[in-house]
């Protein structure tokens, strides 16, 4: 039986070698800042054509129970650019899909791989995988958190705004995994985040309270409102996501009615600061949560944001697996 011996090792200069990346509350503001800075550095290296391959000979197993464009391509490409290899594994390819215990899968994969990225439904499953693996485990998305997306989002906001502390971020839409992770990430970095969601669709109370406590210590601010106008007023960044996430397709019609007043359009954007930045984690449904003239307009950085998934995740893999 393989024993979990996950310990910080020599690794990257940010000092995170061997760690898991399951939720942002596991990381301090200085650790997230180091990851973001490393993301900026790796982006510059790539743009200048410099070869940087700290993960030569290393392999990342990528488990997908939920399909994805950005997550798969960015992780697989990132591993290649860092000198390693990514292996795509759907749950149908693994004995997990036939009932093998998560702990057994974790122990077996730890003998083959140098890291695991998993994109799935259950946060508890990801936690169990990490508890039983002796290699770093990265949460590529669950129904509760999406920390990799937020790492790239923070990198993007810092690029556009020049910093994070004191920036007002308005998230308009469903209190989903994106809202949860944005709330936590913004709170850790001393930002002001306002989540506007209809009653019954707001973030889980326990997560909101945790984010508020973190913000109180960092000088940030967290607020939850049912008023999108209030959230958007004087915002530096307005962010939205689809109203029905993967697995919620049957609720689409009900959600369209519930979120009818939460669309990000030019009128809502006009309430924010003149240099407001629009963000969306993609894929987007133009004409639903956001109008085409907003997402395709001059304030939008959605494709810069999407590209930064690659650079942020290269930084993460370098730090954890280097």
Catalytic (active site) residue 313: no
Is 246 annotated as contributing to ligand binding? yes
Of 154, 208, 27, nearest to 19 by C-alpha is: 27
Per annotation, catalytic residue among 81, 309, 311, 313: 309
Yes or no: say if 321 and 55 are a contact pair by the CB < 8 Å rule: yes
| Residue 95 among known ligand-binding residues | yes
Single out the catalytic residue among 146, 192, 280, 311: 146
Query: Is 177 within any annotated ligand binding site?
Result: yes
Out of 20, 34, 114, 119, the active site residue is: 119
Helix axes 123-132, 102-110, angle to 10 degrees: 50
| Residue 148, marked binder | yes
CA pair distance 304, 268, nearest whole angstrom: 22
Q: Of these residues, 241, 263, 305, 313, which one is catalytic?
A: 241
Is residue 98 a known part of a binding site? no
19 is in an annotated binding site: no
Strands of the sheet containing 137-141, edge to edge, are: 85-90, 59-64, 115-119, 137-141
Choosing from 81, 123, 149, 155, the catalytic residue is 149
Q: Is 147 annotated as a binding residue?
A: yes
155, 280, 281, 313: the catalytic one is 281
The reply to whether 71 sits in an annotated binding site is yes
Do 118 and 126 contact (CB within 8 A), yes or no? yes
Asked if 19 is an active-site residue, the reply is: no
Active site residue 20: no
149 among the known binding-site residues? yes
Is residue 286 part of the annotated active site? The answer reads: no
Is 194 among the annotated ligand-binding positions? Answer: no
Q: Is 308 annotated as belonging to a binding site? A: no
Confirm whether 281 is a catalytic residue.
yes
Return the ∠ at Cα 214 (arms to 209 and 220), rounded to 5°: 105
Residues placed in the known binding site for carbamoyl phosphate: 68-71, 95, 119, 146-149, 281-282, 309
Show which residues are catalytic: 119, 146, 149, 241, 281, 309
Residues placed in the known binding site for L-ornithine: 177, 241, 245-246
Residues placed in the known binding site: 68-71, 95, 119, 146-149, 177, 241, 245-246, 281-282, 309
């Amino acid at each position: 039986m393989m024993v979990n011996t996950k310990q910080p090792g020599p690794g990257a200069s940010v000092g995170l070698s061997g760690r898991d990346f399951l939720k942002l509350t596991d990381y301090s503001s200085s650790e997230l800042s180091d990851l973001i800075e490393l993301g900026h550095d790796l982006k510059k290296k790539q743009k200048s054509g410099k070869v940087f391959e700290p993960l030569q000979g290393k392999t990342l197993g990528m488990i997908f129970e939920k399909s994805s464009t950005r997550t798969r391509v960015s992780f697989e490409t990132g591993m290649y650019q860092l000198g390693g290899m990514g292996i795509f594994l759907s749950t149908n390819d693994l004995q997990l899909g036939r009932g093998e215990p998560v702990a057994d899968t974790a122990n077996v994969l730890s003998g083959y791989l140098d890291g695991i990225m998993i994109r799935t439904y259950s946060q508890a499953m990801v936690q169990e995988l990490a508890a039983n693996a002796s290699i770093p485990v990265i949460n590529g998305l669950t129904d509760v958190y999406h920390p990799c997306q937020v790492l790239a989002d923070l990198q993007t906001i810092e690029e556009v705004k020049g910093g994070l502390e004191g920036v007002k971020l308005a998230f308009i839409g469903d209190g989903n995994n994106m809202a949860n992770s944005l709330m936590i990430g913004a709170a850790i970095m001393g930002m002001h985040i306002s989540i506007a969601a209809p009653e019954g669709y707001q973030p889980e109370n326990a997560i909101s309270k945790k984010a508020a406590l973190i913000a109180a210590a960092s000088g940030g601010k967290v607020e939850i409102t049912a008023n999108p106008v209030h959230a958007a007023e004087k915002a530096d960044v307005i962010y939205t996501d689809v109203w029905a996430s993967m697995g919620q397709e049957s609720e689409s019609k009900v959600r369209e009615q519930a979120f009818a007043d939460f669309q990000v359009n030019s009128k809502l954007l006009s309430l924010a600061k003149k240099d407001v930045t629009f963000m969306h984690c993609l894929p987007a449904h133009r004409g639903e949560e956001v109008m085409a003239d907003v997402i395709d307009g001059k304030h939008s950085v959605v494709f810069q944001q999407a590209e930064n998934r690659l650079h942020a995740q290269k930084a993460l893999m370098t730090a954890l697996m280097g």
